[in-house]
Amino acid sequence: MPTDATTSAADQRPLDRATAAAIAEAFRPQSRFGNRGDYYYTRGKLGSDPLYPGVLDALRGCDAPLLDLGCGLGLLLHALRSDGQHMQYLGVDIDAGKIARARRGAQRAGLAHQILNTMDLGQGMPAHHGSVAVLDTLQYLDASVQQQVLQAALERVSPTGRLVIRTPLADQGGRDRTTRITDMLAHLVGWMGPRPRHYPTAAELKGPLEAAGLQVRLVPMYGNTPFNNWMLVAARTLP
């Protein structure tokens, strides 16, 4: 699949181990016998996936308020603050259990003043004007809902804001197949509540944004993982 930049996915790196471990501490249970699932997930995710350094780079230098759609445990908030980025943050997710744990993690990290809410993107989106992040979320929405979310996100991007999307793309390759199997397993074991519904093509993502006059950059964002993850960054003017 052609890309809009020469960055090699193999050159991408996750957060350094010290940063990943520091962020994960917010999710370590206070009880000796507490559930350590979120702690180990956070440490493993941050230490292996190039997603967060990629998003931090995409947002660096932009102080517009950020809406994080499908925020999960709110890891982007923690990564931003560790990187010295302090734009206003609002995270929403359909999973009420994850939002409750995200709030506890934010409180332990001294970020309790940030807003994390439960919300079904298929039913609407909060008012917002700034930047928007949609990370590893689109594949859990039907194709028609994906387009609605893209349009709603586009309408919330300010002239100085940026839209950042990380999603697997449908291209029928080996990474595509691995991603589909893994996403379904994550649903079956209960980590992801909704099941995967539609993997978008590059054209489905780029088309509406370019038609609206945004500049769009699409690059692979899978690093050393086996998944078919790509990152799209769009803005009125890309740096």
Cα distances (angstroms) measured from residue 135 to each of 4, 35, 45, 69, 141: 19, 25, 13, 7, 13
Mean pLDDT of 141-167: 96
| Burial status of residue 1 (CB atoms within 10 A of its CB: 0-12, 13-18, 19 or more) | exposed
Q: What is the pLDDT of residue 124?
A: 85
Q: Name the band, by pLDDT with cuts 50, 70 and 90, for residue 203.
A: very high
- Residues 93 and 103 sit within 8 Å (Cβ to Cβ): no
Of 132, 135, 139, give the one whose Cα is nearest residue 221.
135
pLDDT in tens, 64-83: 999 999 999 999 999 999 99
pLDDT reading at 11 higher than 80: no
Average pLDDT over residues 148-164: 97
Indicate the domain borders of the chain: 9-235
CA 212 to chain centre: 22
Question: Between the CA of residue 157 and those of 17, 96, 132, 236, what are the distances in Å?
Answer: 33, 26, 7, 9
- Secondary structure class of 235 (helix, strand, coil): strand
| CATH domain 9-235 topology | Rossmann fold (3.40.50)
